[in-house]
Amino acid sequence: MSALFSGTGNVEQGIGAQGVEVTYIGHASFLWTAPDDTRVLIDPYQDPDEGPPWFEKDFPPVVADLAVSTHDHFDHNAVGKVPGFPVLLTGSGEFETPGIRVTAVPEVHAGKCVMPNSLVVVEAGGVKFVHCGDNRFDFNLEAVAAVGQVDIVMVAVDDSQHLMSWDEVWQLATAFSPRVIVPMHYLLPGVVKASSTLLGIENWLASLPDDVAVRRLEGPEITISEDVLPLRQERLDSRQTPEVWVFDSAFAIG
Ligand SMILES: [Fe+2]
């Protein structure tokens, strides 16, 4: 099974062409299944102890080798309930197998809630992701430099601008010069309830610049490799006009 250690490995070796399978569980939770079958789950959720419920159903029994929580809020921290006795990762640290490398870079939660939040880098199948949790947009430059350039950013956004304004979301997401931005943490029928006070993302999508292509994925799973990513633009300012990919969340609904 998995190994937990620090240092460099051969994650890219021999697995780039296969890509990596990514499943949107719902809310801020995604599952990566690496070419060596290592399964990495980020931000399993649960309802709050007090106050209105946020979720239609309990978090599904997703088995994982590594369970990561970006920060200690109920809608991101249910790692203790993940079956299969996964390795747990919170705060900072690294997890690596021959098929996947996960690095948690400590940063800070958005808004007035000053608490730690990790930027979680996932590298597998020749693709580099960063899952931002509920991170702030006015980040520590050293932390963002530690993440570096990525292919895909998962970022919290919704039409209520619950955590950040849309401009702030864009500032955070594009700090990593991604080729693709994946929205998360929004009202999702069958998964996230209206009592969460979150809203959907249709107004945000409509507000995006005209040159940003929006792609709606069919289903909650996609195998991502260089072949399906938009081409990296060769620009002197190293900026990329990212696409936005919206997952279908049928996994958690079904
Ligand atoms: Fe959250």
Surrounding residues of ion ligand 1, Cβ less than 5 A: 75, 134
Q: CA 174, CA 168: separation in Å to the nearest integer?
A: 10
Distance 127 CA to ligand 1 centre (A): 25
Distance 27 CA to ligand 1 centre (A): 8
Distance 34 CA to ligand 1 centre (A): 26
What's the mean pLDDT when you consider all of the chain?
91
Instruction: Report the run of H or E that residue 41 belongs to, with start and end.
Output: strand 39-42
Instruction: Report the run of H or E that residue 143 belongs to, with start and end.
Output: helix 141-147
pLDDT in tens, 92-136: 999 999 999 999 999 999 998 889 999 999 999 999 999 999 999
Length of the chain: 254
The token duo for 184 is 């998360």
Mean pLDDT, rounded, for 45-74: 96
pLDDT, residue 17, reads 54
Mean pLDDT, rounded, for 77-82: 96
Distance 76 CA to ligand 1 centre (A): 6
pLDDT in tens, 124-176: 999 999 999 999 999 999 999 999 999 999 999 999 999 999 999 999 999 99
pLDDT, residue 10, reads 41
Domains and CATH numbers, the chain: 16-253 (3.60.15.10)
Distance 23 CA to ligand 1 centre (A): 19
Distance 162 CA to ligand 1 centre (A): 9
